[in-house]
Amino acid sequence: MFTTGPIGVFDSGYGGLTILNKFRELLPQYDYIYLGDNARTPYGTRSFEVVYEFTLQAVRKLFEFGCPLVILACNTASAKALRSIQQNDLPHIDPHRRVLGVIRPTVECIGGLTQSRHIGLLATAGTVKSESYPLEIHKLYPDIKVTAVACPLWVPLVENNEYDSPGADYFVKKYLDQLLGQDPEIDTIILGCTHYPLLIDKIRQFTPSHIHLIAQGEYVAHSLKDYLMRHPEIKSRCTANGTCEFLTTESIEKFQESAATFLHEKVRVRSIVLE
Ligand code: DGL
């Protein structure tokens, strides 16, 4: 008998809640379990080995909770750990479960959005350094030029609830100017970090109006819907009672307080240890 259970959604912290929200909007029938490694966030500045090890621990934990499918709703984890987990770990742990990321679904949409074929990527240092976005983009669209800038201060702005403050303006403008200074022909910018949709109003304020801003939640949610349609063997194992549970490596109080920024609702949370 194959395991049945909720869809697991993993992020280094709170950012993945922007993806979970879109899953729940588009596919409200399923059960979800969200795991935030809040005690060890951010991942964006950590090494490949550490992000891989932490992400694998999280996937194993979500498997313990019965998830037949886990989405790495974190670009840094998708960039640095997804491939190794899919290729090296899953065959040993359980070849009948699946782990998916957020980069490929985001990349798939851009071919139809850019006219100039010049794309900008704003992401964590880890995601930029991994080159996962340009690699995936060039597999599908070899003609597109990609320019990437790391925004190391944006995640702390969001995590510290400063994303709406006047002080955030300086750092939002700084990285956008850097990106558009490097390639003024950019007409589409990927917000390649799950935290950035919370900064979108400010990002919009400092971005010329002809430029498309891509917040990935919607694209990832449509891609999940499509995936489940194409994989009935996985879909039939995802339980569908419309529930949502939250796990954190931080304290319950801290999670409830900070998650309110992303969720606008009080949630039931359990504190767990990853090892
Ligand atoms: N949520 C992560 C991402 O999408 C960024 C936060 C972090 O640095 O841990 O890349």
Using only C-alpha atoms, what is the Rg of the chain?
18
Distance 33 CA to ligand 1 centre (A): 18
How are strands ordered across the β-sheet holding 145-150? Answer: 145-150, 118-123, 188-191, 212-215
pLDDT tens, position by position, 73-129? 999 999 999 999 999 999 999 999 999 999 999 999 999 999 999 999 999 999 999
Q: Is the distance from the beta carbon of residue 130 to the nearest atom of ligand 1 less than 6 Å?
A: no
Distance 232 CA to ligand 1 centre (A): 31
Which pLDDT does position 259 carry in this prediction? 84
Catalytic positions are 74, 193
Q: Is the distance from the beta carbon of residue 43 to the nearest atom of ligand 1 less than 6 Å?
A: yes
Which pLDDT does position 251 carry in this prediction? 94
Q: Is the distance from the beta carbon of residue 106 to the nearest atom of ligand 1 less than 6 Å?
A: no
Which pLDDT does position 260 carry in this prediction? 81
Average pLDDT over residues 25-53: 95
Q: Is the distance from the beta carbon of residue 36 to the nearest atom of ligand 1 less than 6 Å?
A: no
- Cβ neighbour number for residue 242 with a 10 Å cutoff: 12
Given a cut of 90, whether residue 263 has pLDDT beyond it is no
Which pLDDT does position 261 carry in this prediction? 77
In degrees, rounded to 5, the angle at the alpha carbon of residue 248 between the alpha carbons of residues 246 and 252 is 85
Question: Which residue has a Cα nearest atom 2 of ligand 1?
Answer: 74
Split at pLDDT 50, 70, 90, the class of 266 is confident
Which pLDDT does position 264 carry in this prediction? 78
Given a cut of 90, whether residue 160 has pLDDT beyond it is no
Average pLDDT over residues 7-16: 95
Q: pTM of the predicted model, to two decimals?
A: 0.95
